[in-house]
Structure 1
Amino acid sequence: MSTATAEPAGRPEGAEDAQGAERAEGAEGTGPIRFGVVGTGWRSEFFARLARGLPDRLELAGVVTRSAERAARVRREWGVPAFLSVAELLAAEPEFVIPSVPWEVTPEVTGELVAAGVPVLAETPPAPDAAGLRALWEQVGASGLVQVAEQYPLMPGHAARIALVREGVIGTPTSVQVSSTHMYHAVSLIRHTLGVGFEPVTVTARAFTAPLADPLSPKGWSDDLTPKDARTTLALLDFGGGRSALYDFTDNQWWNPLRSRRMVIRGSLGEIVDETVVRMADPRTPYETPLVRRRTGLDLNLEGSEVRHITFDGRVVWRNDHTGAHFSEDDLAVVELLCRTGAWARGAAPEPYPLAQGCQDHLIALAVEESARTGEAVATGDEPWSA
């Protein structure tokens, strides 16, 4: 695994449920982790590509699609089995299944899989709205079979920063500023960094529109630098007890090269600003230490292009345990999550990202959107998954 200290925050003690204990009794713990996917969108192809790149650890047992024509195309282009029903996929004995389907379909597929007793790694978000989250929790929450595919805390830079915060390098974390990704992903980073669980939060948000060129999107380069209206959402999250967060996201910030990504973590004894850590050497000596990535493939290095590790003060705080596949940093986070989910499904590791955590992330994200839309403060409260 990349780093044990980057495990999701807020996991309750004794998180391994009865089903996990039962799986542990029969867990072989050998060979590649076999998983299945329901759906054939771009995210599904993403999982297939990662399995091809790491065949010694991951094996895609099959993909479910509703069209025979699409199934034939998946077999031909992805090189994996394709089925027309969940039942056919389960006959191939995957160790867990990923519902990679539209938001509104995810709860339905998740419920079907849980009813069959199969561990699930639900895509984000696990349900489209607050009512859907509550209904899903009522249906499958007690099963202990559902995890959520939230990879952002496992991305190398974020994992390294979270590890340092948990070590107490900057004292008690008090505030986080995230301008990187959107909604539940950003909320996950905020909650993990501050170490907050299911406490009520008050959200005050505003949305602004301004012109911005948008030369790159998932479709590729547009060759168009004409500024178009882009929406920026700013939100203040008050978790109480002196803990706060600033959410800042602009449309297509993931792709647009004209908008960078940044993260500021402030604590009682210092702060982390992107790749720089500031704290005191003694009562009169503040100093800075960088987080340093070792990247191969530069200049005359012929090891291939990938990040190998991140160091801080001469020691490794994050390490790539999937070298040789030459994955991007986002790929590495997803692969790590898949491996952790496989280990959990075999009863050999704790839950990687329990459903309760994913529900809380999206609940707060929905509060951000509601506040931005209405101009009013929105407060979350206790939910069925809070316990």
Structure 2
Amino acid sequence: MVKYIVVGYGWRAQLFYDLAKYSPNQFQVVAGVVKSQERINQIKHERGIFATVDLDQALSLNPDFVILCIPRPIMKDYIIRLMEKGVPVMCETPPGKTTAELNQLYLKQQQLAGKVQVLEQYHLWPFYQSLLNITKSGIIGEVQNITLSALHGYHAISIFRKILGVDMQNCSILGQQFIHQVTKTNSRQGFSYDGEILEQKRDLVTFSFDDGKAAIFDFTSHQYFSTIRTRRVTIQGTRGEVNDMTVRYLNKDNKPVQEEINLYYLGTNNISGLYNHSVSLGDKILYENPTMPARFNDDEISVADSLLKMRDYLAGGAEVYSLKDGLQDAYLSFLMEESLKTKQLIQSQSQSWATHN
């Protein structure tokens, strides 16, 4: 059982309550921390879970860790407050709003030896974890570049760094933004069928890393929910490439092979619970769902996996997603936003978390 406190009750915080609702044998929200009596009443009515405005009262219930789902401007101070109390933290959003704040937070974490992990879940999605396993297997050779049109900001940068294996390397960043139109289809509020035309921002950004590897970021503002703006990914290596669901590579005799990535879902055309069971490439299993048989979508699977890994980390295991990695993702996303605004080439510089051993 993973027991945690959730601070905040916005759209994203709902996910952590849902995990406990749909997999009560694995997850438990011991308390919610919110900013008003109105929110306390809402959580009691909607979730039947204890909530309070008093963080110390919630901590008295002895959670394994605290999940922060709060706005970026107050994230750094909240993390420091919890570190000073010796409480482990998972932060859901970028942990600061400026590069200076990111450096301040890192130095404070070093002083306090705080146990802080970042809830950057996309590398644990069944699909993206499968891509990572393909690249780690070596079948497409050394990875040279990646083009991704699926995730925004720091989430995409996380995948770039993981796939390319660039860690804390510096890079030059050049961005350009276009405004186009798209028909509204789906959103957080649900489906729309009235044909309304919306403005859509399309961001195109190149990342050129110091070792010669490169990433191309391509994201549109309605892409997460739109039914007519789909995911695209290309990863090129010295001996092959991944093009969305197709993998082309050379075998040991240098002859070309083509295989398809297969996402196997239970609950499709049968009566099993609906969830991702595994991902394969030919006869090779790339990924197996650690949360089975919970009926989670792929994002819920990845977040649940993050919480399970946080439990293991606190018991002495490997980090889930380190604060250093989260800080680097956020820093590069700040530079990306600056380049999109100015249309200027920007060079990253090594920050405190990249130079400290």
What is aligned with 1:146? 116
Q: Does 1:204 align with 2:174?
A: yes
Instruction: Measure, in 2, the Cα distance between the counterparts of 1:128 and 1:74.
Output: 28
> Residues 119-268 of structure 1: matches in 2 within 5 Å?
119-142=88-111, 143-268=113-238
Aligned-pair CA distance for 1:293: 1.7
2: distance between equivalents of 1:43 and 1:284?
47
Pair 1:376 & 2:347 matched: no
Q: Provide, for residues 296-342 of structure 1, a one-character-per-residue CA deviation record: whole Å limited to 9, x for no partner.
A: 2222x111211101112212110012112110011100000011011
Give SS of 2:120's match: coil
- Over the matched positions of the two proteins, sequence identity in percent amounts to 29
Deviations 1:160-180 (CA, angstroms, capped at 9, x unpaired):
010111111211111011100
Structure 2 residue aligned with 1:66: 35
For residues 134-164 of structure 1, what are the alpha-carbon distances to aligned partners after superposition, in whole Å with 9 as ceiling and x for unaligned? 2222222442411100000000000001011
> SS at the partner of 2:141?
coil
Q: Which residue of 2 aligns with 1:361?
A: 329
Q: What per-residue deviation string (whole Å, max 9, x for no partner) do you get for residues 182-220 of structure 1?
A: 000000010000011111110011001111112211111
TM-score, length-scaled by structure 1: 0.89
**1:77: Cα distance to partner?**
1.1
* From 280, 286, 298, the counterpart of 1:329: 298
Contact preservation (8 Å) 1:45, 1:78: no
Contact 1:53 1:325 (C-alpha < 8 Å) held by counterparts = yes
Higher relative contact order (CA 8 A, sep 6+): 1
The match for 1:26 is none
Amino acid at match of 1:368: M
In the other structure, the counterpart of 2:71 is 102
* Per-residue deviation, 1:113: 0.6
Q: Report the number of matched residues.
A: 354
CA RMSD of aligned residues (A): 1.3
Counterpart position of 2:61? 92
Preserved CA contact (<8 Å) 2:83 2:114: no
Q: Deviations over 1:101-123 (max 9, x none)?
A: 11111111111110100010011
Runs of 4 or more, structure 1, over 6 Å off, are: none
Q: Which residue does the alignment assign to 1:54?
A: 23
Secondary structure of the 1:191 match is helix
Contact 1:141 1:355 in 2 (8 A): no
Cα distance in 2 for residues equivalent to 1:226 and 1:60: 40
Partner Cα distance (1:77, 1:226) in 2: 33
Provide the C-alpha distance between the structure 1 equivalents of 2:52 and 2:196, rounded to a whole number of angstroms. 44
- d(CA) in 2 for partners of 1:305 and 1:51? 17
**Separation (CA, whole Å) in 1 of partners of 2:35 and 2:339:** 38
Could you say which residue in structure 2 is the equivalent of 1:340?
Answer: 309
1:280–1:115 distance in 2 versus 1, CA, 3 Å: same
Change (3 A) 1:159 1:284: closer
Equivalent position amino acid for 2:123 in 1: P
**Equivalent residue, structure 1, for 2:289:** 320
1:117 aligns with 86
Q: Give the TM-score, by structure 2 length.
A: 0.96
Deviation of 1:42 (Å): 1.5
Cα offset, 1:282, TM superposition: 4.9
Unaligned 5+ segments in structure 1 are 1-31
1:269 aligns with 2:216: no
C-alpha contact (below 8 Å) 2:139/2:250 kept by paired residues: no
By how many angstroms is 1:284 displaced?
A: 5.4
SS of 2:178 mapped into structure 1: strand
